[in-house]
Amino acid sequence: MTHVPTYQNLIDGEWCASLGGATFDNVNPADTRDVVGRFQASGAADAEAAVRAAAAAFPAWKKRTPSARAKILLDAAAYLETHAEQFGEELTREEGKQKALAKDEFLRAAQTLRYYAIEAQSFGGETYPNDDPDLTVYTQLEPLGVVTVISPWNFPVSIPARKIAPALVCGNTVVFKPSSDAPLSGLRLTEAFVAAGVPKGVLNFVTGKAGEVGPVIVGAKAVRAISFTGSTSAGEQIHRAASLSTRTQMELGGKNPLIVLDAADIDRAVDLTIKGGFSLSGQACTGTSRVLVERSIRAAFVERLAVKTAALRIGSGMTPGTDIGPLATANQLRTVLDYIDTGRREATLVTGGNRLTDGDYAHGYFVEPAVFADVPRTARIAREEIFGPVIAVIDVDGYDDAIAVANDTEYGLSAALVTRDPRLMHRFAEDIEAGTVKINRTTTGNLINAPFGGLKQSSTATFRESGRDGLAFYLQSKTVYRGT
């Protein structure tokens, strides 16, 4: 029998088992016989201990010099880079994405840490002119205190890195809860900070069910900020549960459109659809899920999309040449298959949509990428977030109709337009209701140094993640009037 490694929480600088002693196993979605690791099924008492440790560590960490805090980020980045190959393979085993993408995610996390280590050195307050020669008025920025970070399973390293790095470098302490479906990658990120010498209690890592751990790390009086990425429903619950003095930063769902008009290069539009809709098995919050195609080119577009989709290679992320890996969890597989069944009743299934169970697929969560055409605008697959490799092609009558359909949703995370017409490029950036706007690019992807977030139900209307905006969330401002 293969040995299953057991991983622990990090609380107050010590790796420790949960107080209740319970654990849970995480399995490989490409082969569920492969148990990746055993993790702590923490309870409220563990979460309370983590919050207490973070609160106790805050006064000393706040007083650390900015350069001292930045050095820990730089050393943690170096640790991630050194172990990127190993950690990337572990990420592929626990979450399913292709090995090269998994390694790149750790390298991107390291890049994020380096960015914030440098950028925080130039992020400060302002001085305000006034008419009193004996008065100086300025703002000074200070950390908030204890910050809760709750991250999802689809990007289990890069997303917490862009939350934890600015939180720590600004002088906050952190309680980090990763998704129970991909906890090992979050643990490796935590391990990097420990190896870099982060003081005890400054970063705490707790695994377990949201229902057990969540109420404490969200509702504790000591928690001054919560940064969450996940479903809109969960984000709404967390936002409502937070106290008036607690900041929230919620990055939530999307139903992201790609608009293809008759001025577009059809082959390029097809390639962008496949990359945006099927990479990561469609499990990206910014993934393309609706393609709004002008009727005059719809037949040609769908035909070419179907051919290229059917040619995609499905398999384990560890297998070279794989285009699409498994879905990450059994629950996600059930959800996607349910939506595909719904789509068969609502629209025309052009290609794919079958679960794969033979041979190498027998013990994994594999499904063929699906393309639906003749999709009514009111169809569930046109309006609800599926979070899987399912594309809904919707007919539109020109630019204005496409914008109306694209904006007719509760979400506003990411949107893209494929066109050769420079006039439409300018109009699109003005007209679309999305926080991330792409032109002749996929709906997916964002720069480390640029703000990221959505509109409407895709994000809270507070602070963006990434870039300098990502620093601002973790700092509070005081206005100082100093007389002589």
Provide the annotated active-site residues. Answer: 251
* Nearest C-alpha neighbor of 145 from the set 226, 66, 215: 226
Lookup: tokens for 361: 């697929």
Place of tokens 């994000």: 459
> What does the alpha-carbon distance between residue 254 and residue 432 come to, in Å, rounded to a whole number?
14
Handedness of CA 54, 57, 62, 68 (dihedral sign): negative
Decide if 412 contacts 460 (C-beta within 8 A).
no
Residue type at 37?
G
Decide if 358 contacts 341 (C-beta within 8 A).
no
Decide if 413 contacts 456 (C-beta within 8 A).
no
Q: Half-sphere exposure of residue 286, counting CA atoms within 13 Å on the CB side? A: 25
> What does the alpha-carbon distance between residue 73 and residue 58 come to, in Å, rounded to a whole number?
17
Helix (H, G, I), strand (E, B) or coil at 423: helix
> 219 exposed, middle or buried (CB, 10 Å; 0-12, 13-18, 19+)?
middle
Q: Which residues pair with 260 in a beta bridge?
A: 293, 418
Place of tokens 């996607």: 336
Listed in sequence order, the DSSP H helices in 242-293 are 266-278
Lookup: tokens for 198: 């982060």
> What does the alpha-carbon distance between residue 15 and residue 264 come to, in Å, rounded to a whole number?
55
Strands (E), 327-407: 348-351, 355-356, 366-367, 370-373, 390-396
Q: For strand 256-260 and strand 247-251, is the pairing parallel, antiparallel, or unpaired?
A: unpaired
* Nearest C-alpha neighbor of 386 from the set 334, 424, 324, 441: 334
> What does the alpha-carbon distance between residue 144 and residue 121 come to, in Å, rounded to a whole number?
18
> What does the alpha-carbon distance between residue 439 and residue 416 come to, in Å, rounded to a whole number?
5
Buried b vs exposed e over 3-39: b needs ≥16 C-beta within 10 Å? eeeebbbbbbbeeeebbeeebeebbbbbbeebebbeb
Angle, in degrees to the nearest 10, between helices 183-195 and 84-95: 160
Q: For strand 146-150 and strand 223-229, is the pairing parallel, antiparallel, or unpaired?
A: parallel
* Nearest C-alpha neighbor of 280 from the set 232, 317, 308: 317
